[in-house]
Structure 1
Amino acid sequence: MNLVLLLILTLGFSMSSCSVQTGMMSIHTREIDLIVKMNQGDYWNTLKMGAEVAAKEFNVKLNFLASDHEDDITGQIELVNQSIHNRPDAIILAASDYMGLAQVTDRVAYDNIPVISIDSEVGSARVKTYVGTNNYEAGQLAAERMVQLIEGKGQIAVMNFVQAARNANQREEGFLDYVARYPDIKVVDIQYSQSNQRYAEELTRSWLVQYPNLAGIVALNAESSIGVGREVQRSGKGGKVNVIAFDSPPETMEFLQEGIVQALVLQNPFNNGYLAVQYAVEIIEGHKVPDRIDTGIKLIDLDNMLWPENQKLLFPFVK
């Protein structure tokens, strides 16, 4: 009898322990809409992958929503309106236009749906937190390496992406503020590719003709980087025109190894997606979260690309 009683007590304790542990976890499936700038590209695919991993871990139904093109501001506003109508537990938003998405973001908050900003900020005080890169610092990091490569003098051009996007503006500002310290460096032009690889190629082709002594080009996102790299390679000016690129799609990685691109500024899109979902769940459950979650940046070149910690950034994967 004593043994039976002991077993009953032990089982009872185990069941109550499991019950407590389950109570600490969210057993209710949460629904979160992830609205990003574009439904294609290595960066967004990696960010989506990180979000999906977190969704499985935190019992979330994740809806991935995006326009075909990053400059489709109207389309993204419609996606947010659609999301409001469906009333998810939270919305994670990578705003294509800082002010263009501000009003609809306020509306989300007025409907008591928490908003988490990811990758690119939006002009609304109602956002609960921002998850992503310090884009000003990313621009400064790109400028620092460009200055080293051209030894503090020469003509350079900036290939930005969408003019109204907050992260685009911040990267450009950081870059320009840094190179302004060097009177022998002249920024001859700034263009916006609209995150279109072909258009970035055309703009680069025009630069290479108009500025035969061009010393360097910085491309401030993945799609711009691919377009710039292709045209510099096609023109035979690889290694003559220094290129700093952003992110690490396979084609840009090849450009780095071939000497077409001299360095990459890497974000951490997997972590961006994962942490945005994690913090969204915490907000839904009533927890206080930081105002900003900086997921870091790193500059990669041929000297450090094979370091183990950098390989994880260059080639994110899930077991």
Structure 2
Amino acid sequence: MKRNRKTAAVTGSVAALLALVTACGGGGQVGGGDEGGDQAAPGNKKLVLIPGTQAEPFYISMQCGAEAEAGKLGYTLETQAPQKFDAALQTEKVNALGSAPPAGLLIAPTDDQAMIAPIQQVKNGGTKVVEVDTSLKDKNVAVSSISSDNAEGGKLAAQTLAKLVGDKPGSVLVLDTIAGTSTTNARAKGFEDELKNYPNLKSVGAQFTQNEPDQAASKVTAALSSTPDLIGIFATNLNTGEGAATGLRNAGKIGQVNLVGFDASPSEVEGLRKGEYQGLIAQDPASIGQQGVQQAVAALEGKPVQRDITAGLHSITKDTMDANAQYFYKQQC
């Protein structure tokens, strides 16, 4: 009898445990093979996008694509952008999600190492994480990562510059943003690696601008003084490009030094039309946002998730800009 009572007790405990698991949604399917955290609470249709910074046309275009796709799939998307491209400011936005965790988080990490811990904390709460544009060094945090092939983008920029310059010899400056920013660092490296294939062009190295246009302008002013044969500049994003154009304008060197920028913001497109830029490497941020939502929803609904997705890149010059207008970035949705 004692043994029978024990067996009955164990059986009852198992039944109670199964009931508890069922009540908590444990019978649901975990999306995309992501083993960290549980599924979002039933009925949670909220997605949050935390881009690198606010008011940049690249991120606005990404937001537009993400919002449209979320609505199509029956979800809502809220954008919470830090004032500057800064890991501490972005961490504040991520930490604030703890009080009301979204079902899914789309985020462009501003530092591939410093953002791991705060994003992991959100994941631990059951939120599905998708990286858009930039990524973390730790590949186990996000269920999916959508970005341009930034090294390939840098390579394309070098090819574009070489075509613009022809056989003329000269030195080339690379303006990067912040050390630890995965996207721009990859662009700079891809550019310098490809530049080695053109013996008439010599790199004077990459300089960091902290993503501030005024610092980019100062770097260009200094380079023009120290490097008389400066023939080209590669600016790895919008802010460095705008700063580089300002530096060339102030020195009266517009058109004399070939400026190839990354992205296609309204100001960069206008600069290309006016001859301040000679080339732009455009991404497709709306597609990145759209696909980011698709992967987050797939993970939430237990459907297959693609871990890494590469978005398209396009080299645009003044001669080809009208044919590529669909890749110009937006200032509002």
Aligned partner of 1:30 in structure 2 is 45
Is it true that 1:63 corresponds to 2:78 in the alignment? yes
Q: Quick one: which amino acid aligns to residue 67 of structure 2?
A: E
Q: Quick one: which amino acid aligns to residue 319 of structure 2?
A: D
What secondary structure is seen at the aligned counterpart in 2 of 1:280?
helix
- From 243, 251, 269, give the equivalent of 2:285: 269
- From 123, 140, 153, give the equivalent of 1:138: 153
Structure 1: stretches of 5+ with no match in the other structure = 1-26
Judge conservation of contact 1:29–1:61 (CA < 8 Å) in 2.
no
Aligned partner of 1:162 in structure 2 is 178
Kindly report which structure 2 residues correspond to 1:67-78, keeping only aligned pairs within 5 A, or say none: 67-70=82-85, 72-78=86-92
Judge conservation of contact 2:47–2:76 (CA < 8 Å) in 1.
yes
CA RMSD, aligned part only? 2.0
- Percent identical among aligned pairs is 27
Kindly report which structure 2 residues correspond to 1:1-319, keeping only aligned pairs within 5 A, or say none: 28=43, 30-70=45-85, 72-124=86-138, 125-151=140-166, 153-307=169-323, 310-314=324-328
Q: Quick one: which amino acid aligns to residue 80 of structure 1?
A: V
Stretch of structure 1 that moved more, 176-185 or 221-230: 176-185
Judge conservation of contact 1:96–1:162 (CA < 8 Å) in 2.
no
CA distance in 2, matches of 1:53, 1:169: 30
CA distance in 2, matches of 1:109, 1:103: 10
- 1:3-59 CA-partner distances (Å, limit 9, x unpaired): xxxxxxxxxxxxxxxxxxxxxxxx956111111110121111111111121222222
CA distance in 1, matches of 2:284, 2:186: 17
CA distance in 1, matches of 2:44, 2:320: 42
Q: In structure 2, do the counterparts of structure 1 residues 240 and 318 end up closer, same or farther at CA, with 3 Å as the change threshold? A: closer
Q: Quick one: which amino acid aligns to residue 159 of structure 2?
A: E
CA distance in 1, matches of 2:220, 2:213: 11
What secondary structure is seen at the aligned counterpart in 2 of 1:120?
coil
CA distance in 1, matches of 2:330, 2:267: 16
Q: In structure 2, do the counterparts of structure 1 residues 78 and 158 end up closer, same or farther at CA, with 3 Å as the change threshold? A: same
Q: Quick one: which amino acid aligns to residue 207 of structure 2?
A: Q
> Could you tell me how far 1:316 is from its partner in structure 2?
5.6
CA distance in 2, matches of 1:318, 1:156: 34
- 1:218-268 CA-partner distances (Å, limit 9, x unpaired): 001011111111221232212210110111222211221122211100001
CA distance in 1, matches of 2:206, 2:257: 16
- 1:163-208 CA-partner distances (Å, limit 9, x unpaired): 1111111111111111123344321131222222222222212222
Q: Quick one: which amino acid aligns to residue 263 of structure 2?
A: D
Q: In structure 2, do the counterparts of structure 1 residues 318 and 226 end up closer, same or farther at CA, with 3 Å as the change threshold? A: closer
What secondary structure is seen at the aligned counterpart in 2 of 1:238?
coil
CA distance in 2, matches of 1:231, 1:248: 19
Say how many residue pairs are matched: 290
> Could you tell me how far 1:296 is from its partner in structure 2?
0.6
CA distance in 2, matches of 1:209, 1:191: 15
What secondary structure is seen at the aligned counterpart in 1 of 2:58?
helix
